[in-house]
Amino acid sequence: MTGANSSESEPGTGRQLPPRRRFLVPAVIIVVVALLIAAVLWLRPGGDQGDGDSVSTAGSSVDVSDLPPPSEVAVPDLSDAESRDPEDLLADGPVDAPVVLVVFTDYQCPYCARWTHDTLPALQDYVERGELRIEWRDVNVYGEDSVRAARAALAAAMQGRHADYQQALFDGGEIRSSSQLSDEALIELADDLGLDPVQFTEDMQSEQVGSTILDNAARGIELGAMTTPSFVIGGTPSVGAQPTEVFTDQIDEALEEADA
């Protein structure tokens, strides 16, 4: 792991990112929490390992009864991941929605494609009721194809068509091949969707779009979102394209907490 003052590279470009003050990486915290929960469940009386009373670690014995139950394992609050920026073109839903879902994604991630196809439509009902705001952050961990696609999606957003373009990139819950993510193919897709191809090309290749995509990716990686898709739901981190009910349950719970 690099130190707080070391430089990092923009995913897929090799460009150096400016030094940033970093904090504990939530992805690591999530893994530790998961391991702790597994250990608690595995070592409790009735488990398959040991006698259920104690476990030896590094020469010392730990009483299993001293371990916290899974429900009491602390989960980090990542509410700071929410931007609630009214000028954010990669967001859907009211700025003052009671719950914000931040999605860290990649256009070359097959699980992201599946989640967008299978689960996102169910979440749109919350957006339409003003209960949920979704903020998209492309982390582009898969490289240059991902970066180009992210730039194209933002260029489409500048014409008010982010959702349409995103769905086209993830058509049928599948990712596009590398040849389908070339500059020419992305411009052709914009034209097929009825966007102004000249404006789209200019925006996609602009410094403004490039800077925004770079900043979003850097922020996602800073938060530890190296596994896609990753999410922050009402400040609570979540990893993986889990079943739709998992997300609707979490959103319902966050809405209840917001009303309390």
Distance (Å) of CA 208 to CA 112, 205, 213: 25, 9, 9
**Does the N-terminal peptide bond of residue 237 adopt cis geometry, omega within 30 degrees of 0?**
no
Q: What is the pLDDT of residue 59?
A: 47
Count Cβ atoms within 10 A of the Cβ of residue 180 and give its class: 0-12 exposed, 13-18 middle, 19 or more buried: middle
Reported as a pLDDT band with limits 50, 70 and 90, residue 8 is very low
Place of tokens 């014409």: 159
Domain assignments of the chain as residue spans, ordered by start: 8-12+22-72, 79-259
Q: What is the pLDDT of residue 36?
A: 42
AA identity, residue 42: W
User: Does 73 have pLDDT greater than 60?
Assistant: no
Four-way CATH pick for 79-259: 3.40.30.10, 2.40.10.220, 3.20.20.70, 3.40.190.10 = 3.40.30.10
Q: What is the mean pLDDT of the chain?
A: 81
Report the candidate in 227, 233, 229 with the shortest Cα–Cα distance to residue 247: 233
For range 192-198, the mean pLDDT: 98
For range 202-213, the mean pLDDT: 97
The string of pLDDT tens digits covering residues 212-241 is: 999 999 999 888 888 899 999 999 999 999
Reported as a pLDDT band with limits 50, 70 and 90, residue 124 is very high
